[in-house]
Amino acid sequence: MMYSRPGSDAAALTERLLHLNRADLVERRSERIASLLKLLELFVRCENPELKRLLWDEFVSEAQAHKEYAALSRTVLADARRKLGVEYGGTPSS
């Protein structure tokens, strides 16, 4: 589900005009999140440094502007970076 920021009339209007919470979009966003989390799970479990770097790069590439649900992907990526302490290349931040 998408929620507008409280107090933002523009966001609330956009949500309603574009019907951003219709069932098909909610389902597709859920599928996208599941796909990203599956990739993240592979990254977290991986012990091979080279494969780990490639998996992280793939995860990062999913947040590129031309990808479907890029903003959603960027949010998941930012949350993963924060929670895992990972920077570009899959190396733990110091």
Contacts of 3 (CB under 8 A, 6+ apart): 15
The closest alpha carbon to 63, from 43, 79, 82, 86, belongs to: 79
**Confidence (pTM):** 0.75
> Given this model, what pLDDT does residue 21 score?
84
The closest alpha carbon to 12, from 26, 2, 25, 22, belongs to: 2
Q: Which residues of the chain have pLDDT under 70?
A: 1-4, 87-94
> Given this model, what pLDDT does residue 80 score?
92
- What is the distance, to the nearest Å, from the Cα of residue 59 to the centroid of all Cα atoms in its chain? 9
> Given this model, what pLDDT does residue 38 score?
96
